[in-house]
Amino acid sequence: MTPDTQSPDAPAARSSSRKLLWIVLGIFGFLVLCVVAFAAFGFYFVTQNLDMTQASPSEASLSFEDVRAKFPDGPILRIDPDERVTVTRQPPDAAPAERPTRMHVMAYDPDDERIVRVTIPFWLLRMGRENIKLGTGRGGDIQFEQLRITAEELERYGPTLLVDHTDRDSRVLVWTQ
């Protein structure tokens, strides 16, 4: 066969290889778009649900007492100095009239004089068994699983104070609303 004469299959082979190239490029472009969209959603989520503000110890104390005053029954979980978690009261049998939609974490670090507030939507708590760390200071973090309470049980409590923990390095409040 001379270079001037081509096989009748050559245009079909070239056409199918171009199709394959466009399919591969399309899949690659879609994956890149998904990664960018996921990163943008993550950035948006964090900026909407995380707040850090400077506060003197007296300002921080007032902020914590404002939240604490909303819950006269006290926290349902107690964390001892050895970070053992105790449930102080069981969830009610009947569902409350108002179900919580968010879990709030407020922590104060006196060294940095900063209050950090994190809001976690309840749908995220229901999503699975991912570890959610509740920072309790430099000594360590309490894993959400250590609290031995499920999102469904939290909903049965209704809006409530979950944790009011103070140690030498920080103070942490966790509540549902």
For residue 46, pLDDT beyond 90: no
Query: In terms of domains, do 108 and 28 share one?
Result: no
60 and 139 fall within a common domain: yes
Residues 36 and 65 occupy one common structural domain: no
- Rounded Cα–Cα distance for residues 145 and 147 (Å): 5
Residue entry with tokens 């049998």: 93
Torsional class of 131: left (φ above 0), alpha (ψ -120 to 50), beta (otherwise): beta
- Are residues 102 and 135 both part of a single domain? yes
Scanning the chain, the segments in alpha helix (DSSP H) are 10-49, 57-68, 122-126, 151-157
* Short-list 107, 161, 100, 96, CA closest to 125: 100
Together in a domain, 33 and 73: no
pLDDT per position as a tens digit, 56-110: 999 999 999 999 999 998 999 888 777 777 888 888 888 788 889 999 999 998 9
Give me the domain span that covers residue 39. 11-50
Residue pair 168/137 in contact by the 8 Å Cβ criterion: yes
- What are the tokens at 158? 């209704």
Q: What's the whole-model pTM score?
A: 0.74
Going by their DSSP bridges, the two strands 85-87 and 141-143 should be labelled as unpaired
Question: Is the domain of 92 the same as that of 172?
Answer: yes
Q: How many CA atoms lie within 13 A of 11 on its CB side?
A: 3
> Is residue 59 located within the same domain as residue 34?
no
Q: Are residues 92 and 18 in the same domain?
A: no
Digit-coded pLDDT (tens) for 6-28? 565 667 777 888 899 999 999 99
**DSSP bridge partners of 87:** 77
Q: How far apart are CA 159 and CA 19, in angstroms?
A: 57
